[in-house]
Amino acid sequence: MPAVYTAAVPVDVSAEVIANTPLSSDYNVLALRAPAIAAAVAPGQFVMVKASTSHDPLLRRPFSVFEVLRDRTGAPTGISLLNKRIGASTGLLYAAQPGQRIACLGPLGRPFTLVDPPAQGWMVAGGVGLAPFAALAQALQRHGVAVTLFYGARRAAELFYLDFFRELGVTLVLATEDGSLGEAGRIVAPLDRHLTALDRQSPVTLYACGPEGMLAATANVAIRHRRPCQVSVERIMGCGMGGCYSCVVPMRGNDGVFRHVRSCLAGPVLPGDQILWE
């Protein structure tokens, strides 16, 4: 008897590209038909994706699920991915054509924990780190939580989906490194100010995803303001299943000792105050 599925998830689907929407010369959103994954995924979880069947590039790449796509009745039909072209695999995903099939394994990993109202949810995104926050914003809003998105990028043209978040009722705080939109500089500066201005009794949970430096800075700001902070880390991942031990993060255990944990199984969402940042 050959190997058989013994669990409902993760599943590996050959997902048809429904649409490929370029956002800039580097960024695109890929809509994939994957009802089984869409029905099971929670905000913050990821899929392992491979655009070609060839051995080069060989490995899959991890992607946070950006949006859950639904039909008119609200039934989940697929997922979208926010992709930034940086190498061979992401280049193939940038160039993917509707009708093309893409191997998609998931959902994988631990999702964000939704905070309960009256606590607020503040999402902190840097660049392509916006990826998990469309789905999280929808889930938090449905849960009755007021959501703010702190969103930083290099320039105005790389701040995407602003209308999507506005229509959801998400409060936006923007920053660009060149000052072309929002505050000039890094997004952590306005985040720090907003936390300083916030009443100490007013509960807020931070959710962060972006470059390592931004995550470390956000985690430190959260510690200073005594706010919980869930970070979605990105590591080079071989398998996404716990098999290869590539994607490790040094985490403080209950005994105070730092140990390497696999971000594919323990994460990608991890408590920011337990991570030893580089």
Contacts to another protein by CB under 8 A: 1-7, 10, 12, 50, 55-60, 103, 105, 235-236, 238-239, 241-250, 259-260, 265
In whole angstroms, the minimum distance from the beta carbon of 184 to another protein comes to: 27
SS (H, E, C) 194-241: HHHHCCCCCCEEEEEECCHHHHHHHHHHHHHCCCCEEEECCCCCCCCC
Tell me whether residue 225 or residue 235 sits nearer to another protein (CB atom): 235
Tell me whether residue 1 or residue 197 sits nearer to another protein (CB atom): 1
In whole angstroms, the minimum distance from the beta carbon of 143 to another protein comes to: 28
Tokens of 269: 């969402």
Tell me whether residue 235 or residue 252 sits nearer to another protein (CB atom): 235
Read out DSSP for 21-77? EE-SSSEEEEEEE-HHHHHH--TT-EEEEES-SSSSS-S-EEEE--EEEE-TTS-EE
In whole angstroms, the minimum distance from the beta carbon of 65 to another protein comes to: 19
In whole angstroms, the minimum distance from the beta carbon of 45 to another protein comes to: 15
Tell me whether residue 57 or residue 185 sits nearer to another protein (CB atom): 57
Q: What are the helix and strand counts (H, E) for the chain?
A: 6, 16
